[in-house]
Each structure stands twice: as C-alpha cells, then as structure tokens.
Amino acid sequence: MKLVKHILETKGRDVWSIGPDDSVFDAITMMSERSVGALPVLYAGKLIGIISERDYTRKVILKGKASKETPVKEIMSAPVIFTTPDAPIEKCMALMTARHIRHLPIVDGGELIGIISIGDLVKAIIEQQETWIRELENHVLEQTSIV
C-alpha cells in the first residue's frame, strides 16, 4: 500500500509558503513562479490556512476587492484540512473527493513537511496500477513456464 510519504520522496520536500499579512498579489505571483495551484499559509511556523487559485478566483474581484490591497488571511481557506505522512493514498483521495479540495498539506509532529495535489495522487495511482499489471504478467509467465 502506497503512503503519502512515498509521494513526498519522489516529489521532493520543498514547500513554498506565504504569510497571512502578505498580499494576495504576492501569493499569486509566487504560485505562478513556482508552478503551484495553492500555497500553505504559515504564521510563526504554524500552518493556519491555505490559499488556492480557487480562493483567488472567487473571493477577490467578485467581492469588490483588489489583489494588491487584500491580505492573504482575508481570503485563505481555514481551518485547513491536512494529513500525516503515514496516510494511505486511497484515504487521501477519498478525503479530497469528499471535501472537494485539490491540495492536502502534510504535517508531521506539528511541522509542515509537504503538500500533495490531486494530480500527484492520480500519478501515484497510475504508477501503482502499472506495478500491479507487471506483477500479474510475471505471475502468468511463471505459471506458463511450469506447464
């Protein structure tokens, strides 16, 4: 069974984050530069929220706000739904589907150690299925060689 930490091992543990008092403009600039769809919001090293392309799309101009004058804390999603490195990927998939979220921060001992996206999970599942197929094929080959 594949766990969240196995995804982090492949993906790397670089986590970009933003502060609650930084501007939304700074947040979307960082998202674009880092090619990510969401950023964890950290205050004094603690995960207090998450800001995504969806938060930006729905809560700034449509609410009459401007991205350069709006602080991240005003539009971030909080409290944050997160998980731990030992969570199985199937459980994360079910959680993300049920809560309609695309990004899941990974917290270990109170510390943010990574973030996985629904795309990362799908990629991991495809790889897992390919491994199973190879194992099944090997099994068939072994049986054939016995006969």
Residue 142 CB, nearest approach to a second copy (Å) = 22
Q: For residue 114, what is the enclosing H or E element? A: strand 111-117
Place of tokens 């930084």: 22
At 62, the amino acid letter reads L
| Secondary structure class of 38 (helix, strand, coil) | strand
Q: Does 30 bind a second copy (CB under 8 A)?
A: no
Q: Does 32 bind a second copy (CB under 8 A)?
A: yes
Contacts of 17 (CB under 8 A, 6+ apart): 39, 40, 41, 42, 112
Residue number with CB closer to a second copy (57 or 84): 57
Q: Does 56 bind a second copy (CB under 8 A)?
A: yes
The one-character DSSP state at 87 is: S
Q: Does 67 bind a second copy (CB under 8 A)?
A: yes
Residue 87 CB, nearest approach to a second copy (Å) = 15
Q: Exactly one of 119, 134, 138, 140 binds a second copy (CB under 8 A); which one?
A: 119
Give the footprint of a second copy on residues 36-55 (CB under 8 A). Answer: 37, 53-54
